[in-house]
């Protein structure tokens, strides 16, 4: 007998067993529902505690006022017209109008597709169809994950092509179409690995602990987020970029000396070959512990050294505050709470039936047998739909928090360099080169904005100058 037959086959205790199973099935399934009541209550309590803890951590640790205290003369108001020419403002508005349609259309179509697959029997039927030739649950999970993520990626491809066309039209993309396609395939491959591993672990826990699987899923989800964040710089980033140590002198020595003066242990500054795909400017810090790294786009190296120092000062602010580790732990705590909530949803008979999954399995199946209900690999579409919905709902909150953390890093750069004039000129260069939205509306801020807009960062630098008795940078126009 195969593993699937042992897990999912009907219980036949003897002659007439099938008839007795059908006759007793309602009582047995009612008993199973009663046995699930206590685990569901426990999962609900755990979810409430974890989300309350997460909310408290965010409320207490987020720098809601990155530049505390009074500002002589009052806070400066962000005004693009002070520092950006009419042509620069017009180009930003035109680019925003061109890039928003593919962004919004891709978001709506992607959400509609995954929700339609997960909250109707279509997704279960699709998974059942692509896994029809195998009966081993692990292989069914892997095949189902690969097929579903590929379907979603293909559905979003027209909008990615549309977006890439806009980037090319505005000179932000330097890739050929074959190079762009290779990057898309690499991204899909990374998605396959992450989803296949995560779903394999989830379904293994669900099958092993059918009543209290939320405990293992919450702990495993927490650890997996931490692990992925730790290894991301050395396992994923090299898939898309080549890195080398910054060799330019005296810039390299100046940056390392600045890090030492700041008390941030940095043994190297890396440069990414971003110019082979974009003209935009960027720098970032990723990883933590032994995998922490500060990375500059090679496009940034053409800027004046003092501007690069301003950018690196911002990244040192992230490193000194351990923002990557903080974000990882907050994300891991959120995933742990989400796994408890997922248990509540995935053990709801009504929701499972809506998704085309029989909570009790085929007639004659033992109540609670492995491979039934939430453990059925055909429920992958429902899992991804719920995860996507949760991610989308939490996104605006995380963007809000991120904007305040980025503002704190800006203040750190100003404290370190004490050069607000260079900071303002750097923010102007970043906004112009990246064609940033200078005046995003509320919806754009909710959905996409993880950094303060350029005019807001410039206004904050002027506030810092007045607070610290440093000459206030004049308008750039």
Q: How many CA atoms lie within 13 A of 191 on its CB side?
A: 16
**Catalytic one among 376, 410, 419, 463?**
410
Length of the chain: 477
Q: Which of 337, 432, 307, 358 is nearest to 121 (CA)?
A: 358
Q: Are strands 283-286 and 269-272 parallel, antiparallel or unpaired?
A: unpaired
d(CA 364, CA 22) in angstroms, rounded, equals 6
**Catalytic one among 315, 323, 419, 437?**
315
The answer on whether 314 is annotated among ligand-binding residues is yes
The answer on whether 404 is annotated among ligand-binding residues is no
- In the residue annotation, 419 being an active-site residue is answered as no
- Cα–Cα distances in Å, from 234 out to 59, 156, 293, 322? 32, 28, 10, 18
d(CA 155, CA 173) in angstroms, rounded, equals 22
Residue 439 exposed, middle or buried by CB count within 10 Å (0-12, 13-18, 19+): middle
Q: Which residues 6+ apart lie within 8 Å of 148 measured at CB?
A: 117, 123, 126, 127, 380, 381, 384
Query: What does R_g of the chain's alpha carbons equal in angstroms?
Result: 26
Backbone CA torsion sign across 157, 162, 163, 169: positive
Six-digit token string for 40: 């569901």
- In the residue annotation, 179 being an active-site residue is answered as no
Q: Which of 422, 472, 407, 406 is nearest to 309 (CA)?
A: 422
Annotated binding-site members: 314, 318, 406
Name the residues annotated as catalytic.
315, 410
Annotated binding-site members for Zn(2+): 314, 318, 406
């Amino acid at each position: 007998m195969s593993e699937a037959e042992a897990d999912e086959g009907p219980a036949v205790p003897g002659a007439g067993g099938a008839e007795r199973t059908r006759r007793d099935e309602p009582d047995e399934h009612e008993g199973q529902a009663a046995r699930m009541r206590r685990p569901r209550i426990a999962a609900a309590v755990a979810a409430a505690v974890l989300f309350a803890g997460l909310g408290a951590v965010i409320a207490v640790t987020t720098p809601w006022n990155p530049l505390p205290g009074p500002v002589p003369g009052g806070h400066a108001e962000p005004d693009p017209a002070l520092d950006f020419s009419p042509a620069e403002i017009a180009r930003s508005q035109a680019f925003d109008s061109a890039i928003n349609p593919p962004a919004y259309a891709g978001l709506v179509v992607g959400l509609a597709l995954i929700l339609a697959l997960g909250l109707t029997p279509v997704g279960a039927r699709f998974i059942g169809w692509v896994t029809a030739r195998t009966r081993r649950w692990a292989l069914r999970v892997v095949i189902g994950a690969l097929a579903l993520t590929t379907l979603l990626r293909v559905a979003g491809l027209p909008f990615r092509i549309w977006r890439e066309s806009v980037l090319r039209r505005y000179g932000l993309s330097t890739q050929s179409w074959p190079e762009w396609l290779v990057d898309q395939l690499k991204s899909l491959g990374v998605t396959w690995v992450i989803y296949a591993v995560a779903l394999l672990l989830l379904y293994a826990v669900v099958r092993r602990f059918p009543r209290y699987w939320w405990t293992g899923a919450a702990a495993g989800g927490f650890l997996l987020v931490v692990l992925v964040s730790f290894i991301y710089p050395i396992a994923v980033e090299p898939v898309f970029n080549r890195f080398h140590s910054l060799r330019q002198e005296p810039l390299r020595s100046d940056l390392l000396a600045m890090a030492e003066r700041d008390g941030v242990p940095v043994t190297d500054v890396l440069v990414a070959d971003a110019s082979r795909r974009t003209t935009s400017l960027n720098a970032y810090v990723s990883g933590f512990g032994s995998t922490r790294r500060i990375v500059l786009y090679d496009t940034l190296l053409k800027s004046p050294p003092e501007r690069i120092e301003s950018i690196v000062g911002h990244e040192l602010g992230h490193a000194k505050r351990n923002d990557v580790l903080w974000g990882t732990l907050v994300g891991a705590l959120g995933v742990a709470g989400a796994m408890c909530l997922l248990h509540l949803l995935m053990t709801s008979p009504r929701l499972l039936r809506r998704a085309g999954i029989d909570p009790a399995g085929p007639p004659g199946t033992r109540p609670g047998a492995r491979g039934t209900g939430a453990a059925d690999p055909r429920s992958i579409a429902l899992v991804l739909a719920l995860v996507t919905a949760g991610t989308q709902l939490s996104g605006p909150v995380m963007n809000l928090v991120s904007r305040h953390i980025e503002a704190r890093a800006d203040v750190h750069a100003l404290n370190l360099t004490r050069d607000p004039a260079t900071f303002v000129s750097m923010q102007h260069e970043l906004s112009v080169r990246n064609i940033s939205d200078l005046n995003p509306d509320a919806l754009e801020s909710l959905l996409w904005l993880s950094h303060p807009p350029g005019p807001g960062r410039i206004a904050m630098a002027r506030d810092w100058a007045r607070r610290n008795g440093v000459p206030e940078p004049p308008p750039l126009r």
